[in-house]
Structure formats: structure tokens, C-alpha cells
């Protein structure tokens, strides 16, 4: 009976939880009395009510957007939520405007609700070239306050309609967005993020918009509602928030005027292919033999082996042309790059495309959106989504992605910034299509340690390290740019060990690996006749990078990972091994990753082997609790593993 009553109490508690705050625009006394949010104890503020209503005015034909919000301040860091900014864009013949700004702060003082209204002198306008920034700050905002604001914007800019963000950096109890779109306007509607809608109601309103001579249009009316939306909190191993923050967006595809005029705004990919094929900044600079005539030296042109020749052409670009850091798809000139030796991503990679094509290779440009720019829209063409260009070629039945902007990448590697799932491969003969951007090979980080215990109870030996793939890029660059600073950084990072010598083996920045050896000495912890040693002289992760209670967006490493650490300890005849760690074999669900720790004792030697493997470049949010526990286990093993030696 007690158990049943407990279960019933828990059910009642969970079901009544959302009733702690009143999900309406009106502020109640109970809203002020509650000062926490159990679903997110770290929240700085809680958006209790978020309401939007967008429609076309029947007289002015402007888009009117009405906003209302009610927000609870939970922590000191949340006080800044009382400051608001609204960006109003300027066009050549029109500017957006804002009206009816209202706001108030509600506080509980001596058990009475005290309301402080927003005054006009707290509203400011800041002029910029392309927009006006309207700022207003609510008065007397403190921890425990509830703030309310409302305003209306009006705009003639209809291309994007008005997007709506259901998710923010604070949790949201209730978010509702209403739209009324006349039949004159056809939009592609895109719901972004992995959180499902609680409500999506649609209807038709007859004759909602009237034109001249008795003409009219019906409106497509929608209501979107999300409840109990978790905060979007950025964390390691992800791309831009724009990929995953839950929202609804619009892209105008067709406009029909009351006069019968029809404007096709969004085109098909076939139309876009034809447009890009004749684009002076793109298509007209693809596969043009005249652009690259007599550029390559005869030593490269005369090569017989396809792969060797492709490697040489790629290296020729790296050695002779530099990236200027720009990636715009406009004002592209391969001819200017050849002359100036410095150019944009598009110019450098289009030069590489031309040189490879001129030597008989089949090469395709791929338009992509970088990790920091957001995922490109797949459901309809939006060329402004793309901000980068890479290449694809096939040599001896093997596919290679290429980008000649980074000198520390080997042939077939592309920069980490470009690992954003997919791109649009431009085949002007057969039509473009989506190409997955996958890195098949594992990137590895391997440390092999050899230690010997001398008669003075000191450990001496060496660490041999090998970095491959994406793990090799940074050490190659740091070492190449300043080898002395690289060595000094090693000393600073490993302050608990003495580094006596450092040597880099077979260094070549064009190779997909970086190898180094460090001679070291360690003074272990000695208590009585025992020596205590944490075998993990180098740690892969100092702390667990996953700290959120829940995460609604993927864990995106970009590539598959393998970390390997081994240590061989040789003892002198005075000491024996009395304590070693137990074997560990710990796996993620569906064989998505694994931790292996194994210890062997052979005579006077101890050998520890540790391997961490991530078999996926991207993990879905459902994996988050498993990855969080996985990383916790990994960090615990590195920090708390101890080997004990005892004097015989």
C-alpha cells in the first residue's frame, strides 16, 4: 500500500509540475512565489509563455508580427533577460518599423505584487547601415522577477516571411506561433530541430486579403505549439546552433499578384544547374583548358602513374598558391589567382579542378556549407546556404575529396570545417545531386611509453607518439611554424614530468601522420617501502566534456576516432608488483564505441594496454546518456588508475 501511495504521489507530482507556473500571458502571484524549475536546475531563466502572430495587413499589405512573452528570472545570470534588442532591416525603398512596445516587471514585496512599467525613455534606437537596432531595458529586474513584454513589427520584406524560434538558451514552457499566409504567397516551410510539435493545426480563411476590382485571396492559417522545450545549451562536439535549434522557417517560392503577374522565386535544381553552368563566377571557370595552359612543369605532366600525378598537381597548388581566408562565391577569378598567387577557396579549388581536368582526370566541384554555417537546405535549392567549395575525383576506382587551401592536409583530406555531412555535387552534364561527405578512415592518436625503475626510485624512459588523420593536423602546423615554441609547450603541458629530449621523426607536412619521441624522467610517489604510479602519463580527456542533463542535438565528432595508450614498466630486482588495475571491456550500445583496458605481468615487467574507439563520426541525441557515462568511465580510468610497487 505504501508503495502504491508513493507511485500515485509521484504521478500527481509530475502531472502537476507544469502547473507551478501559469502558462498564460497574465502574471499571477504563484508565478512570483516559485523560484526554480525542476526539469533544469541550472536554468538562468524560464520562458513561461511565448506567443507570436503573423499576418498580412489588409490595407497596407505589410507583414505584421505581434510578439508577447512572459519570463521568470531564476538566477543572477538571468537578469540580463530584462534587456531586449529588435533588429529592423533597411531596404532601398522601405524600412521595417516597430510599434506598441510595452513591458513591465513584476516583483513580490511583502507578499504583494508590485508592477513597474517600462517607460519611453528606456527605449533606444541605434542606427546601422543596413538595419536599426531597437533596445529597451525593463526596470527593477532581479532574481524572482517575472517580466512581460509585447510589441509589433511591420515589414514589406516577404521573402523569408517571419521565422519563429520555439527553442532558446533558456527552457520554454509554452511557445505558440500563428500564421496567416495569403494564397498570393507560396512558401517552402521548413521545421528545423529534432523536437516534435505538440500542435500543428491548419485551416483556410476565405477572402482574408482583398485587392482591387473585387479580387481577393484566401489565407492558409496555421497554429504551431511546442511545450516543455529544453534549453539549447552549446557543448563540445557539435556544429552551429543553427543546425539544431528548433524553429520554423520560410522561403518564398512563388508570388502571384492580383494583376495576374506570377514571379517564380525558388527554382528547381535543374534550373539552378543551368544557371550555375553559365555563371561567370562559377560554371564558366570550370574545366577551361585555356585558363591553365602551360602552368604545370614538364616534370609533372610527364608522370605516368595517375595517383602520383594527381598528388603532384595537388602539391603544386599548395606550394605556389595561398588561401586568403575568404570563401565567397562571388568575384571569383582563377585568372587573377594565377597572377596574384593568392585567392579564395573557390579560386584555389577551381584552379585545382582545371589542372586535374586538363590532365585527364574526371573532377566534380561540390558546393557545401561549413560546420559553422549550418546545414544546407535539401528540400529546395537555396544557393545562399552554400559558402564553400571542395572537389571530388575518382582515381583507380577510389574516390577522393580534395581541398588545396591547407598545407598540413595530405592528398584526399579535407579541412575539419568542411565535415558537415553532405554537399551538392555539380555535374553539368548529367545533373547535380547530393553527395555525402564521409571520412572512412579512423583518425588515431597513439602513445607508447617505456619506463625503467632505477636504483634511486626514479622512472626514466621515453614516450613515442604517432598522430594520424585529423589528429595530426594541429601538431604538424605548430611544429612547422615554430619548433622551439612547440617543444616549450610540451614542457608546460606536462609539468609533472621532466622532458629531457624531444625528436620528431620523418617529418613531412604533406604526409597524413606526425611522429615524435620524448625522453622523460618521473619522480613517483613513494610512501614507506611502496611506490605508487598512475600509468597514464598522458591523458586523452582531462575531464568529461558532456555535462548537460539532456541534449537534444547530435554529438558530432566529425570523424571516427581511435585512441591507444600503452606503457611498459621494467623494474629493478628490489621491487615487485603488488597491485594492478582490473581488466575493463566497456562498450556503447550497438557496438558504437568501446573502452578496453588490459594489464599483463611478465617476470619483472608490467605492460598496460588501453584503447578507446569511437566507431561513428556522429551520434544521435539518444546516445547522449550512454556517451556521457562512457566518457565518465574513460576519465575515471585515466585519473584514478594506480599501480603499486613494493620493495622486496
User: What would the 3-class secondary structure string for 517-534 be?
Assistant: EEEEEECCEEECCEEEEC
**pLDDT exceeds 80 at position 43:** yes
Residue 46 DSSP SS3: strand
Nearest to residue 52, comparing CAs of 178, 192, 151, 165?
178
Asked whether the CA dihedral 628, 631, 636, 639 is positive or negative, the reply is: negative
Across 143-152, 197-206, 257-266, 537-546, least confident range: 257-266
pLDDT of residue 6: 37
By the 8 A CB rule, do 525 and 643 touch?
A: no
DSSP E strands in 211-325: the ranges are 216-229, 247-256, 262-264, 322-323
Dihedral angle at the C-alpha atoms of 77, 80, 81, 83, nearest 10 degrees?
Answer: 180
| The pLDDT of residue 11 | 38
Contact predicate 520/497, CB 8 Å: yes
What cell was used for 112? 504583494
pLDDT(344) > 70: yes
pLDDT tens string 246-272: 999 999 999 988 888 888 877 889 999
| Average pLDDT for 218-228 | 96
pTM of the model: 0.86
pLDDT tens-digit map of 572-618? 888 888 889 999 999 999 999 999 999 998 878 899 999 999 999 99
Tell me what the mean pLDDT of segment 114-130 comes to.
95
Give whole-number Cα distances, 164 to 3, 178, 531, in Å.
Answer: 45, 10, 62
What integer pLDDT is reported at residue 19 of this predicted model? 54
Smallest Cα–Cα separation from 229: which of 473, 46, 28, 17? 46
Is the Cβ–Cβ distance between 182 and 374 less than 8 Å? no
pLDDT value for 567: 96
The per-residue pLDDT for 3 is 37
Residue 203 confidence (pLDDT): 96
pLDDT of residue 214: 80
Residue 5 pLDDT > 80: no
The C-alpha atoms of residue 637 and residue 581 are separated, in whole angstroms, by: 9
Cell of 110: 511583502
CB 425 within 8 A of CB 437: no
Q: Which of 424, 450, 417 is nearest to 364 (CA)?
A: 424
**Is residue 4 pLDDT above 70, yes or no?**
no
- Give 524's pLDDT tier (boundaries 50, 70, 90): confident
Residue 529 has pLDDT above 50, yes or no: yes
Which of 302, 279, 297 has the alpha carbon at shortest distance from 350?
279
Bigger pLDDT: 604 or 304?
304
pLDDT band at 419; cut points 50, 70, 90: very high
Tell me the backbone φ, ψ of residue 123, rounded to 5 degrees.
Answer: -110, 125
pLDDT in the model for residue 14 = 38
What the block records as the C-alpha cell of 52 is 507570436
Average pLDDT of the chain, as a whole number: 92
Burial-class residue 508 by CB neighbours within 10 Å (0-12, 13-18, 19+): exposed
Determine the average pLDDT of the residues in 531-539: 93
What average pLDDT score do residues 326-354 get?
Answer: 94
Task: Report all structural domains of the chain as residue ranges with CATH numbers, in order of start.
Answer: 21-263 (2.60.40.3140), 269-436 (3.10.620), 443-647 (2.60.120.1130)
pLDDT at 17: 40
pLDDT, tens digit, 9 for 90 and up, residues 374-405: 999 998 898 989 999 999 999 999 999 999 99
Q: Say if strands 388-395 and 363-368 run parallel, antiparallel, or are unpaired.
A: antiparallel
d(Cα 390, Cα 386) in Å, to the nearest integer?
11
Average pLDDT rounded to a whole number, residues 463-479: 95
Residue 147 pLDDT grade (very low, low, confident, very high; cuts 50, 70, 90): very high
What's the first-to-final CA gap in the chain, in angstroms? 62
Q: Is 58:83 a contact under the CB 8 Å cutoff?
A: no
For residue 321, which of 287, 298, 346, 285 has the smallest C-alpha distance? 346
- pLDDT score of 13 more than 80: no
Contact 606, 643 (CB under 8 A): yes
Say which residue, 550 or 388, is predicted with more confidence.
Answer: 388
Burial 106-129 (b: 16+ CB within 10 A, else e): bbbeeeeeeebebeeeebeeeeee
pLDDT band at 371; cut points 50, 70, 90: very high
Cβ contacts of 54 within 8 Å, gap of 6 or more:
63, 64, 65, 66, 161, 162, 177, 178, 179, 180
Judged against a pLDDT cut of 80, whether residue 1 lies above it is answered with: no
| Separation in Å, CA 262 to CA 183, 254, 256, 258, 382 | 12, 7, 5, 9, 20
pLDDT at 76: 97
Amino acid at each position: 500500500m505504501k508503495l502504491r501511495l508513493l507511485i500515485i504521489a509521484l504521478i500527481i507530482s509530475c502531472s502537476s509540475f507544469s502547473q507551478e507556473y501559469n502558462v498564460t500571458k497574465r502574471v499571477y502571484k504563484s508565478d512570483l512565489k516559485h523560484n526554480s524549475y525542476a526539469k533544469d536546475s541550472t536554468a538562468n531563466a524560464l520562458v513561461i509563455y511565448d506567443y507570436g502572430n503573423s499576418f498580412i495587413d489588409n490595407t497596407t499589405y505589410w507583414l505584421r508580427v505581434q510578439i508577447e512573452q512572459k519570463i521568470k528570472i531564476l538566477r543572477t545570470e538571468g537578469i540580463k533577460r530584462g534587456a531586449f534588442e529588435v533588429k529592423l532591416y533597411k531596404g532601398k525603398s522601405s524600412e521595417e518599423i516597430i510599434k506598441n512596445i510595452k513591458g513591465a516587471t513584476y516583483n513580490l514585496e511583502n507578499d504583494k505584487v508590485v508592477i513597474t512599467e517600462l517607460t519611453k525613455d528606456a527605449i533606444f534606437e541605434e542606427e546601422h547601415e543596413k538595419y536599426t537596432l531597437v533596445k529597451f531595458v525593463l526596470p527593477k529586474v532581479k532574481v524572482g522577477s517575472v517580466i512581460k513584454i509585447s510589441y509589433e513589427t511591420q515589414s514589406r520584406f516577404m521573402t523569408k516571411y517571419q521565422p519563429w524560434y520555439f527553442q532558446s538558451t533558456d527552457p520554454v514552457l509554452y511557445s505558440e506561433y500563428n500564421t496567416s499566409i495569403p494564397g498570393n504567397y507560396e512558401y517552402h516551410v521548413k521545421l528545423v530541430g529534432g523536437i516534435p510539435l505538440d500542435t500543428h493545426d491548419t485551416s483556410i480563411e476565405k477572402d482574408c486579403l482583398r485587392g482591387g476590382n473585387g479580387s481577393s485571396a484566401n489565407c492558409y492559417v496555421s497554429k504551431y505549439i511546442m511545450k516543455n522545450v529544453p534549453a539549447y545549451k552549446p557543448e563540445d562536439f557539435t556544429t552551429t546552433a543553427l543546425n539544431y535549434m528548433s524553429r520554423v522557417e520560410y522561403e518564398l517560392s512563388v508570388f502571384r499578384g492580383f494583376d495576374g503577374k506570377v514571379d517564380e522565386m525558388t527554382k528547381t535544381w535543374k534550373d539552378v544547374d543551368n544557371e550555375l553552368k553559365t555563371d561567370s563566377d562559377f560554371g564558366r571557370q570550370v574545366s577551361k583548358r585555356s585558363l591553365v595552359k602551360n602552368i604545370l612543369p614538364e616534370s609533372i605532366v610527364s608522370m605516368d602513374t595517375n595517383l602520383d600525378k594527381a598528388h603532384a598537381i595537388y602539391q603544386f597548388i599548395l606550394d605556389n598558391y595561398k588561401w586568403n581566408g575568404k570563401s565567397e562565391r562571388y568575384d571569383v577569378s582563377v585568372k587573377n589567382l594565377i597572377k596574384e598567387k593568392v585567392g579564395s577557396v573557390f579560386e584555389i579549388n577551381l584552379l585545382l579542378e582545371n589542372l586535374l581536368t586538363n590532365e585527364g582526370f574526371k573532377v566534380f566541384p561540390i558546393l557545401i556549407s561549413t560546420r559553422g554555417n549550418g546545414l544546407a537546405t535539401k528540400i529546395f535549392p537555396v544557393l545562399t546556404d552554400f559558402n564553400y567549395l571542395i572537389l571530388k575525383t575518382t582515381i583507380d576506382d577510389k574516390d577522393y575529396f580534395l581541398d588545396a587551401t591547407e598545407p598540413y592536409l595530405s592528398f584526399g583530406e579535407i579541412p575539419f570545417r568542411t565535415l558537415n555531412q553532405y554537399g551538392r555535387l555539380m555535374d553539368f552534364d548529367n545533373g547535380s545531386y547530393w553527395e555525402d561527405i564521409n571520412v572512412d578512415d579512423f583518425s588515431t592518436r597513439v602513445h607508447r611509453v617505456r619506463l625503467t625503475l632505477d636504483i634511486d626510485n626514479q622512472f626514466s624512459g621515453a614516450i613515442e607518439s604517432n598522430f594520424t588523420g585529423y589528429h595530426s593536423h594541429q601538431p604538424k602546423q605548430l611544429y612547422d611554424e615554430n619548433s622551439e615554441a612547440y617543444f616549450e609547450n610540451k614542457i608546460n603541458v606536462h609539468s609533472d614530468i621532466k622532458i629531457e629530449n624531444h625528436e620528431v621523426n620523418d617529418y613531412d607536412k604533406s604526409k597524413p601522420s606526425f611522429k615524435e619521441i620524448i625522453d622523460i624522467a618521473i619522480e613517483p610517489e613513494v610512501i614507506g617501502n611502496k611506490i605508487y604510479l598512475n600509468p597514464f602519463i598522458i591523458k586523452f580527456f582531462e575531464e568529461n566534456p558532456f555535462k548537460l542533463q539532456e541534449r537534444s542535438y547530435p554529438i558530432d565528432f566529425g570523424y571516427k576516432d581511435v585512441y591507444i595508450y600503452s606503457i611498459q614498466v621494467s623494474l629493478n630486482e628490489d621491487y615487485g608488483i603488488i597491485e594492478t588495475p582490473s581488466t575493463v571491456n566497456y562498450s556503447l550500445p550497438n557496438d558504437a564505441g568501446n573502452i578496453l583496458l588490459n594489464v599483463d605481468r611478465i617476470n619483472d615487467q608490467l605492460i598496460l594496454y588501453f584503447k578507446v574507439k569511437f566507431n561513428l563520426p556522429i551520434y544521435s541525441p539518444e546516445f547522449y546518456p550512454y556517451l556521457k557515462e562512457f566518457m565518465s568511465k574513460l576519465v575515471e580510468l585515466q585519473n584514478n588508475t594506480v599501480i603499486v610497487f613494493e620493495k622486496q
